[in-house]
């Protein structure tokens, strides 16, 4: 079949698949052209392959089916969707053939695939295979952890430091990881871990003898929790059930009456245990190390338990064992969860692996500087894809969370504009899903054009202050335009243009508080401006929700220049020439204000203006000449003249100011308020925020400073790669100078590094 031809002949009575634009092939799945509705069908078919009938899978399937109703699907697409799984195997991603050791920069957190995920019950796992004192352990922030220990005769191997060959990862997707290690000189173990759904995870263990003699190995599957679990019960020497508490404040900021904090979990072996024990102390590992025969008691309140299974290995023979971990609210029918867990004991893994692998087909392969960059590139896509959730509650389309493991309240409620900049990367993986994420905002837009600060399946957060609702930093039209440039979906462009235009009108109407064209943050202004903690200017004004309202905002005005310029491009692409001219006029008008009023010729830098004077100093003598990262936004928005850009780049590339080891800090290092120590969330007095460094990077590229852009990318990647090597996680923000940090883990917006690499090393960059 030739590319660009319809796979339908039009005689079925269903919609034919149109040929894509000649210069666009990112939207293809399985090497043929299909509209977004058909592409979603392929994802739907792959992700729901071989599902047992259970509530979680039915909800995910129904949600995907509902999304399909937005567009007709052709008959040939339906047939080819069934072929998606075997075809996917032939197009392996680099994530399918890894040899990753403890100190390679791979992200190792895993969550259920989009189609089998749900909001209130959602357990994801972090794989710790890299700590010498641990084994291969699957950990959670609140639900405990589990792993396998090993005994061969009198030898016990539980920690990686005791293994003959340490763990290496052979495969790693958003929901699946395959790990290999040798606990003993004659025993090889291969673990395949699958987060099957938000409720269920499966561990398949293959044990291979490399001895010419028979061997008996004791495999010890153990669970432990920092908090006691209660009402533990053992059934048939095979199934343990227990109760634990998961506090709502870990899951959501807004109380939800339907949330049940009492969970009932199951831990199931594929064969009856030969020995078992429960432990009320927290040293489960030491307890199981001391004796081949465990306590034989497992009930009541515990800190952990262990199930031991003796495996008889013939010379060079292999044995398999499976462990299923399940969780659900205690108020729900436990028999159904147990039934689903037992079904997973017989679940073929190859269809699940193939379905997961199919997610990566559209991602552009890049020739990157080295293996570390390549692992970080693919890890970034794992991060963002993993946070996508199916339609649920008020969300009629897929949406994202900031992190699924660990979870923290405000990061687990829904979408915010600045987090949605992660869609600039994600669109290269799944354009239809990235577009649907933006539709979450569109469907919740008010008639006035206003879009709330945070929208999710069960919240619409407006944070009103003094009668004014809070929005978020306006990255809406720009994100929509960037998604369109990659996806070339005209239907999406039309929807996005209408919503973006209404939103821009709202912001220009309500944030021009002084009537002079320069904009002022509104509502809870500290939230709306994004820079919500330790902002140097906000601190000068007392750091109240209204502190940012004391300035004519450089950042907001620059953002609205980018919004209106993006709208001009959208209108032009839709053939709306008059509207395009009007948006360009408004953009130029705003840009002129920034270029002439907010530029300090003496310093060669852009600053906020005091509202009470219209200058860089307030009436009471507070100077606003503080070099923040927002001073570079006029390059990102195309506002700065070439001469202004040259002076900005001098500041940027000064090691004493912004050119730091791991990227561009939010505040210049020569400012007395600068602090490079990242010890909590939300710090804007020195921390490196990758989204903002990306905007600086884009400004450098657009003004022809490619060498400097590449160097900035290298510095940012040095910081990201160090953390991925050390702890295999992404972070909300990074220290510009140090490797020690403590910001929220696994923050989805770090996926922007993939877009940075595409901009540097992708086909468009190579053509320059």
Q: What pLDDT, in 10s, does the model give residues 81-114?
A: 434 444 334 457 999 999 999 999 999 999 999 9
User: What is the pLDDT of the chain when averaged over all its residues?
Assistant: 90
Question: What does the alpha-carbon distance between residue 377 and residue 753 come to, in Å, rounded to a whole number?
Answer: 7
Answer yes or no: are the C-beta atoms of 532 and 547 closer than 8 Å.
no
**CB-based contact 383:107 (threshold 8 Å):** yes
Hey, what CATH topology would domain 105-357 get? Beta-galactosidase; Chain A, domain 5 (2.70.98)
Residues 643 and 649 sit within 8 Å (Cβ to Cβ)? no
> How does pLDDT run across 264-301, given as a tens digit for each residue?
999 999 999 999 999 998 778 888 888 877 888 999 99
Whether the per-residue pLDDT at 152 is higher than 90: the answer is yes
What pLDDT, on a 0 to 100 scale, did the predictor assign at position 20?
35
How are the residues of the chain apportioned to helix, strand and coil, as percentages rounded to the nearest 5? 35, 20, 45
In the numeric block, the tokens 């001009």 are attached to 568
Q: Which residue has the tokens 């398999």?
A: 320
Contact status, residue 429 vs residue 381, Cβ threshold 8 Å: yes
CA-wise closest residue to 278 among 297, 250, 291: 297
pLDDT of residue 16: 33
Assess whether pLDDT exceeds 80 at residue 12: no
Kindly provide the b/e burial profile for residues 328-339, where b requires at least 16 CB atoms within 10 angstroms of the residue's own CB. bbeeeeeeebbe
Q: What is the mean pLDDT of residues 447-465?
A: 98
Distance (Å, whole) CA 632 – CA 644: 10
Mean pLDDT of 59-68: 44
> What average pLDDT score do residues 196-225 get?
98
With tokens 């500290």, the residue in question is 526
Whose tokens are 């996806």? That residue is 487
> Which pLDDT score, from 0 to 100, does residue 54 have?
45
Residues sharing a CB contact under 8 Å with residue 44, sequence separation 6 or more, in sequence order? 61, 64, 65, 68, 81, 115
Name the 3-class secondary structure at 224.
strand
Least Cα distance to 317 among 406, 208, 228 occurs for: 208
Could you tell me the pTM of the whole model? 0.89
pLDDT beyond 60 at 74: no
pLDDT exceeds cutoff 90 at 69: no
Q: Are 90 and 23 in contact (CB under 8 A)?
A: no
Q: Which residues contact 160 (CB under 8 A, 6 or more apart)?
A: 102, 129, 130, 131, 132, 133, 134, 135, 136, 166, 167, 181
Per-residue confidence (pLDDT) for residue 79, from 0 to 100: 34
**Which residues, in sequence order, are CB contacts of 330 under 8 Å at separation 6+?**
243, 260, 262, 263, 264
pLDDT band at 764 (very low <50, low <70, confident <90, very high): confident
Per-residue pLDDT averaged across 300-310, rounded?
96
Helices marked H in 275-395: 284-290, 334-344, 350-357, 371-386
Tokens 């943050």 label which residue? Answer: 521
């959602």: which residue's tokens?
A: 122
Peptide bond into 406 cis (omega under 30): yes
- The stretch 569-598 carries a mean pLDDT of 99
User: What pLDDT does residue 680 have?
Assistant: 87
Look at the block and give the residue holding tokens 């980018």. 562
Sequence-distant (6+) residues with CB within 8 A of 193 are: 110, 125, 127, 138, 176, 177, 178, 179, 201, 202, 203, 204
Please report which confidence band the pLDDT of residue 470 belongs to, taking 50, 70 and 90 as the band edges. Answer: very high
Residue 399, SS3 per DSSP = strand
Residue 529 main-chain phi, psi, to 5 deg: -85, -5
CA distance 685 to 313: 59
Q: How many residues does the chain have?
A: 768
How far is it between the farthest Cα atoms of the chain?
Answer: 88
User: What local confidence, expressed as pLDDT, does residue 415 receive?
Assistant: 98
Task: Determine the 3-state secondary structure of 181 from DSSP.
Answer: strand
Q: Which helix (H) or strand (E) holds 599?
A: strand 599-600
pLDDT, residue 768, reads: 59
What are the pLDDT digits (tens) for 232-264? 999 999 999 999 999 998 889 999 999 999 999
Between helix 431-443 and helix 36-47 the angle, nearest 10°, is: 110
710-734 pLDDT, tens per residue? Answer: 999 999 999 999 999 999 999 999 9
pLDDT category, 766, cuts 50, 70, 90? low
Using alpha carbons, select from 394, 387, 445 the residue that is nearest to residue 420: 387
pLDDT above 80 for 441: yes
Q: Which of 30-39, 211-220, 274-283 has the lowest mean pLDDT?
A: 30-39
C-alpha–C-alpha distance, residues 438 and 482, integer Å:
12
- Residues contacting residue 543 through CB under 8 Å, at least 6 positions apart: 526, 535
105 vs 34, residue with greater confidence: 105
Query: What angle, rounded to 10 degrees, do the helices at 554-573 and 476-487 form?
Result: 40
Q: What percent of the chain has pLDDT over 90?
A: 83
**Is the CB of residue 8 less than 8 Å from the CB of residue 16?**
yes
CA-wise closest residue to 551 among 603, 597, 595? 597
| φ and ψ of 329, to 5 deg | -60, 140
Q: Write phi, then psi, for 188 (nearest 5 degrees).
A: -110, 140
User: What's the average model confidence in pLDDT over 643-672?
Assistant: 99
At 63 the pLDDT is 46
Provide the β-strand partners of residue 328.
264
d(CA 374, CA 383): 14
Nearest to 98 by CA among 293, 379, 514: 379
pLDDT given for residue 760 in this prediction? 98
In the chain, ranges of CATH 2.70.98.40 domains: 105-357
Packing angle of the helix pair 490-510, 431-443 (nearest 10 deg): 40
pLDDT-derived band at 566 (thresholds 50, 70, 90) equals: very high
pLDDT of residue 60: 44
Q: What is the mean pLDDT of residues 2-6?
A: 32
Per-residue pLDDT band for 346 (boundaries 50, 70, 90) equals very high
* pLDDT attached to residue 91: 54
């Amino acid at each position: 079949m030739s590319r660009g031809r319809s796979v339908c002949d039009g005689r079925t009575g269903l919609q034919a698949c149109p040929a894509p634009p000649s210069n666009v092939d990112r939207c293809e799945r399985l090497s043929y052209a299909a509209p977004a509705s058909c592409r979603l069908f392929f994802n739907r078919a792959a992700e729901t392959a071989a599902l047992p009938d259970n509530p979680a899978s039915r909800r995910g399937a129904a949600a995907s089916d509902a999304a399909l109703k937005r567009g007709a699907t052709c008959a040939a697409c339906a047939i080819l969707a069934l072929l998606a799984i075997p075809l996917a195997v032939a197009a392996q991603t680099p994530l399918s053939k890894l040899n990753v050791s403890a100190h390679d920069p791979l992200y190792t957190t895993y969550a259920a695939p989009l189609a089998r995920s749900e909001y209130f019950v959602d357990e994801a796992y972090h794989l710790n295979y890299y700590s010498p004192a641990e084994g291969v352990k699957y950990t959670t922030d609140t639900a405990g952890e589990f792993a396998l220990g090993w005994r061969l005769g009198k030898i016990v191997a539980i920690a990686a430091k005791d293994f003959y060959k340490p763990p290496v990862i052979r495969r790693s997707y958003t929901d699946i990881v395959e790990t290999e290690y040798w606990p003993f000189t004659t025993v090889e173990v291969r673990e395949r871990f699958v987060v099957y759904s938000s409720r269920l995870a499966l561990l398949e263990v293959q044990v291979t003898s490399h001895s010419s003699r028979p061997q008996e190995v004791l495999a010890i599957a153990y669970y432990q929790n920092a908090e006691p679990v209660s009402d533990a019960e053992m059934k048939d020497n095979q199934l343990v059930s227990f109760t634990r508490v998961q506090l709502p404040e870990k899951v959501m900021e807004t109380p939800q009456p339907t949330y049940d904090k009492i969970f009932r979990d199951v831990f199931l072996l594929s064969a009856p245990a030969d020995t078992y024990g429960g432990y009320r102390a927290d040293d489960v590992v030491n307890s199981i190390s001391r004796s081949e025969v465990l306590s034989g008691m497992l009930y009541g309140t515990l800190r952990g338990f262990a199930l031991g299974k003796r495996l008889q290995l013939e010379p060079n023979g292999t044995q398999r064992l499976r462990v299923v971990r399940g969780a659900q609210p205690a108020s729900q029918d436990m028999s159904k969860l147990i039934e689903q867990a037992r079904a997973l004991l017989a679940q073929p893994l190859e269809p699940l692996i193939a379905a997961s692998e199919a997610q990566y087909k559209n991602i552009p392969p890049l020739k990157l500087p080295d293996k570390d960059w390549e692992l970080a590139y693919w890890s970034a896509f794992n991060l963002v894809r993993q946070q996508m959730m199916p339609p649920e509650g008020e969300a009629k389309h897929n949406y994202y969370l900031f992190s699924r493991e660990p979870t923290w309240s405000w990061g687990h409620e829904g979408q915010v504009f600045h987090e949605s900049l992660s869609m600039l990367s994600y669109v290269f993986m799944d354009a239809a899903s990235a577009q649907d994420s933006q539709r979450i905002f569109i469907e919740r837009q008010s008639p006035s054009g206003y879009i709330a600060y945070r929208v999710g399946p069960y919240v619409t957060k407006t944070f009103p202050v003094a009668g004014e609702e809070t929005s978020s930093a306006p990255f809406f039209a720009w994100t929509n335009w960037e998604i369109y440039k990659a996806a070339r979906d005209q239907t999406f462009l039309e929807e996005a243009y209408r919503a973006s235009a209404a939103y821009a009108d709202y912001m220009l109407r309500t944030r021009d508080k002084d009537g002079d064209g320069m904009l002022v943050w509104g509502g809870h202004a500290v939230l709306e401006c994004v820079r919500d903690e330790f902002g140097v200017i906000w601190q000068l004004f007392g750091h109240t929700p209204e502190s940012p309202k004391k300035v004519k905002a450089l950042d907001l005005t620059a953002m609205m220049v980018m919004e209106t310029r993006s709208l001009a491009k959208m209108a032009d692409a839709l053939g709306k020439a008059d509207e395009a001219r009007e948006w360009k006029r408004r953009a130029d008008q705003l840009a002129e204000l920034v270029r002439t009023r907010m530029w300090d010729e003496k310093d060669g830098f852009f600053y906020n203006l005091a509202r009470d004077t219209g200058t860089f100093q307030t009436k009471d003598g507070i100077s606003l000449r503080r070099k923040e990262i927002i001073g570079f936004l006029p390059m990102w928005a195309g506002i700065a003249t070439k001469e202004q850009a040259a002076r900005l780049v001098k500041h940027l590339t000064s090691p004493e100011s912004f050119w730091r080891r791991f990227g561009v800090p939010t505040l210049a290092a020569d400012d007395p308020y600068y602090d490079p120590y990242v010890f909590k969330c939300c710090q804007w007095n020195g921390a490196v925020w990758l989204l903002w460094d990306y905007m600086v990077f884009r400004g450098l590229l657009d003004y022809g400073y490619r060498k400097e852009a590449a160097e900035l990318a290298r510095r940012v990647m040095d910081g990201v790669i160090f953390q991925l090597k050390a702890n295999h996680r992404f972070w909300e923000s990074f220290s510009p100078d140090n490797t020690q940090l403590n910001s929220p883990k696994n923050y989805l917006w770090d996926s922007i590094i993939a877009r940075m690499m595409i901009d540097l090393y992708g086909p468009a960059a190579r053509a320059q």
